[in-house]
Protein backbone atom coordinates (compact mmCIF):
# COMPACT_ATOMS: atom_id res chain seq x y z
CA UNK A 1 0.00 0.00 0.00
CA UNK A 2 1.25 3.49 -0.87
CA UNK A 3 0.69 6.59 1.24
CA UNK A 4 -2.10 8.95 0.14
CA UNK A 5 0.54 11.49 -0.82
CA UNK A 6 2.21 8.86 -3.01
CA UNK A 7 -1.03 8.24 -4.90
CA UNK A 8 -1.69 11.96 -5.24
CA UNK A 9 1.88 12.67 -6.37
CA UNK A 10 1.64 10.02 -9.10
CA UNK A 11 -1.61 11.53 -10.39
CA UNK A 12 -0.05 15.01 -10.38
CA UNK A 13 3.07 13.72 -12.13
CA UNK A 14 0.93 12.07 -14.81
CA UNK A 15 -0.77 15.47 -15.34
CA UNK A 16 -4.21 14.14 -14.44
CA UNK A 17 -6.65 16.99 -13.77
CA UNK A 18 -8.45 16.10 -10.55
CA UNK A 19 -9.77 17.39 -7.25
CA UNK A 20 -9.43 15.37 -4.04
CA UNK A 21 -12.83 14.95 -2.41
CA UNK A 22 -14.27 12.78 0.39
CA UNK A 23 -12.47 11.67 3.54
CA UNK A 24 -8.96 12.75 2.53
CA UNK A 25 -10.19 16.26 1.67
CA UNK A 26 -12.06 16.34 5.00
CA UNK A 27 -8.88 15.21 6.80
CA UNK A 28 -6.85 17.90 5.07
CA UNK A 29 -9.38 20.46 6.31
CA UNK A 30 -8.82 19.17 9.85
CA UNK A 31 -11.42 16.41 10.34
CA UNK A 32 -10.24 13.59 12.57
CA UNK A 33 -12.03 10.64 11.03
CA UNK A 34 -9.87 7.90 9.50
CA UNK A 35 -10.43 6.99 5.87
CA UNK A 36 -9.18 4.06 3.82
CA UNK A 37 -9.63 5.25 0.29
CA UNK A 38 -8.69 8.25 -1.77
CA UNK A 39 -11.69 9.81 -3.57
CA UNK A 40 -11.01 11.94 -6.61
CA UNK A 41 -13.24 13.81 -9.03
CA UNK A 42 -11.64 13.96 -12.47
CA UNK A 43 -11.99 16.11 -15.54
CA UNK A 44 -13.92 13.90 -18.01
CA UNK A 45 -12.22 15.30 -21.14
CA UNK A 46 -10.91 12.59 -23.48
CA UNK A 47 -7.23 13.41 -22.92
CA UNK A 48 -7.61 13.47 -19.15
CA UNK A 49 -9.56 10.20 -19.10
CA UNK A 50 -6.71 8.63 -21.05
CA UNK A 51 -4.10 9.93 -18.60
CA UNK A 52 -6.14 8.73 -15.61
CA UNK A 53 -6.83 5.32 -17.17
CA UNK A 54 -3.09 4.87 -17.82
CA UNK A 55 -2.27 5.55 -14.17
CA UNK A 56 -5.06 3.26 -12.94
CA UNK A 57 -4.05 0.46 -15.30
CA UNK A 58 -0.46 0.84 -14.09
CA UNK A 59 -1.70 0.39 -10.53
CA UNK A 60 -3.49 -2.82 -11.57
CA UNK A 61 -6.89 -1.29 -10.73
CA UNK A 62 -9.70 -3.78 -10.22
CA UNK A 63 -13.22 -3.41 -8.93
CA UNK A 64 -13.79 -3.43 -5.20
CA UNK A 65 -16.32 -5.81 -3.70
CA UNK A 66 -16.64 -8.20 -6.63
CA UNK A 67 -15.15 -11.63 -7.17
CA UNK A 68 -11.80 -11.74 -8.98
CA UNK A 69 -11.68 -12.64 -12.63
CA UNK A 70 -14.72 -10.74 -13.92
CA UNK A 71 -14.17 -9.12 -17.31
CA UNK A 72 -12.95 -5.59 -16.63
CA UNK A 73 -11.16 -3.23 -18.97
CA UNK A 74 -9.49 -0.20 -17.43
CA UNK A 75 -9.35 2.35 -20.21
CA UNK A 76 -10.62 5.81 -21.13
CA UNK A 77 -13.78 4.35 -22.69
CA UNK A 78 -14.67 2.55 -19.47
CA UNK A 79 -14.37 5.86 -17.60
CA UNK A 80 -16.75 7.38 -20.13
CA UNK A 81 -19.32 4.56 -19.84
CA UNK A 82 -19.16 4.23 -16.06
CA UNK A 83 -17.86 7.53 -14.71
CA UNK A 84 -18.06 6.41 -11.07
CA UNK A 85 -15.85 3.52 -9.97
CA UNK A 86 -14.82 2.03 -6.66
CA UNK A 87 -11.43 0.44 -7.19
CA UNK A 88 -8.79 -1.49 -5.37
CA UNK A 89 -5.24 -0.98 -6.59
CA UNK A 90 -1.70 -1.99 -5.68
CA UNK A 91 -1.40 1.43 -4.04
CA UNK A 92 -4.60 1.18 -1.99
CA UNK A 93 -8.31 1.72 -2.51
CA UNK A 94 -9.44 4.55 -4.74
CA UNK A 95 -12.81 5.94 -5.81
CA UNK A 96 -12.99 7.96 -9.02
CA UNK A 97 -15.93 9.98 -10.31
CA UNK A 98 -16.55 12.81 -12.76
CA UNK A 99 -19.15 14.61 -10.63
CA UNK A 100 -20.03 15.12 -6.98
CA UNK A 101 -23.59 14.98 -5.67
CA UNK A 102 -24.60 18.34 -4.21
CA UNK A 103 -21.77 20.18 -5.99
CA UNK A 104 -22.06 19.28 -9.67
CA UNK A 105 -19.87 18.22 -12.56
CA UNK A 106 -16.11 18.71 -12.72
CA UNK A 107 -16.09 22.45 -13.59
CA UNK A 108 -18.30 23.17 -10.55
CA UNK A 109 -16.12 20.93 -8.37
CA UNK A 110 -12.99 22.69 -9.61
CA UNK A 111 -14.55 26.10 -8.95
CA UNK A 112 -15.25 25.07 -5.37
CA UNK A 113 -11.81 23.71 -4.65
CA UNK A 114 -8.73 25.15 -3.00
CA UNK A 115 -5.10 24.51 -3.72
CA UNK A 116 -3.09 22.78 -1.06
CA UNK A 117 0.57 21.88 -0.86
CA UNK A 118 2.11 18.88 0.81
CA UNK A 119 5.89 18.78 0.50
CA UNK A 120 6.59 19.74 -3.08
CA UNK A 121 3.26 18.41 -4.39
CA UNK A 122 0.51 20.93 -5.17
CA UNK A 123 -3.01 19.69 -5.76
CA UNK A 124 -6.60 20.80 -5.30
CA UNK A 125 -9.07 19.68 -2.64
CA UNK A 126 -12.79 20.37 -2.40
CA UNK A 127 -13.41 23.34 -0.10
CA UNK A 128 -15.16 22.86 3.23
CA UNK A 129 -18.60 24.37 2.35
CA UNK A 130 -18.73 22.17 -0.79
CA UNK A 131 -17.74 19.10 1.24
CA UNK A 132 -20.61 19.81 3.63
CA UNK A 133 -22.99 20.20 0.66
CA UNK A 134 -21.73 16.91 -0.84
CA UNK A 135 -22.13 14.96 2.39
CA UNK A 136 -25.61 16.39 2.86
CA UNK A 137 -26.67 15.60 -0.72
CA UNK A 138 -25.45 12.01 -0.62
CA UNK A 139 -27.82 11.38 2.34
CA UNK A 140 -25.96 8.16 3.17
CA UNK A 141 -25.77 7.45 6.87
CA UNK A 142 -21.95 7.39 6.98
CA UNK A 143 -21.82 10.78 5.25
CA UNK A 144 -24.52 12.32 7.43
CA UNK A 145 -22.62 11.10 10.50
CA UNK A 146 -19.64 13.21 9.49
CA UNK A 147 -21.67 16.39 9.00
CA UNK A 148 -21.54 17.68 12.61
CA UNK A 149 -17.72 17.46 12.58
CA UNK A 150 -17.44 19.28 9.25
CA UNK A 151 -19.92 21.96 10.29
CA UNK A 152 -17.97 22.47 13.51
CA UNK A 153 -14.79 22.90 11.45
CA UNK A 154 -16.57 25.50 9.34
CA UNK A 155 -17.66 27.35 12.47
CA UNK A 156 -14.13 27.19 13.93
CA UNK A 157 -12.67 28.50 10.68
CA UNK A 158 -15.12 31.41 10.67
CA UNK A 159 -14.35 32.14 14.31
CA UNK A 160 -10.61 31.99 13.56
CA UNK A 161 -10.86 34.42 10.70
Residues of this chain that interact with other proteins (CB under 8 A) are 1, 3-5, 23-24, 27-28, 30-32, 34-36, 63-66, 70-73, 77-78, 81-82, 84-86, 92, 95, 116-119, 138-142, 144, 148-149, 151-157, 160
Q: Which SS3 state, helix, strand or coil, does residue 103 take? A: coil
Residue 47 beta carbon to other proteins: minimum distance, rounded to whole angstroms: 21
Beta carbon nearer to other proteins, 14 or 154: 154
Beta carbon nearer to other proteins, 54 or 64: 64
Residue 115 beta carbon to other proteins: minimum distance, rounded to whole angstroms: 10
Q: Which SS3 state, helix, strand or coil, does residue 39 take? A: strand
Give, in degrees to the nearest 5, the angle at Cα 78 between 139 and 108.
Answer: 45
Residue 130 beta carbon to other proteins: minimum distance, rounded to whole angstroms: 17
- What residues contact 24, with CB distance under 8 A and at least 6 apart? 4, 35, 38, 39, 125
Residue 140 beta carbon to other proteins: minimum distance, rounded to whole angstroms: 4
- What residues contact 58, with CB distance under 8 A and at least 6 apart? none
Beta carbon nearer to other proteins, 88 or 104: 88
Residue (of 127, 125, 128, 123) closest to 151 by Cα position: 128
Amino acid sequence: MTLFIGQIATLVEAQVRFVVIGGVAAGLHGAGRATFDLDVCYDPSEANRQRLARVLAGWGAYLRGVEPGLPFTMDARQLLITPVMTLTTTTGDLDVMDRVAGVGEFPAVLAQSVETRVGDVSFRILDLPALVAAKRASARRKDLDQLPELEALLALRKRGS
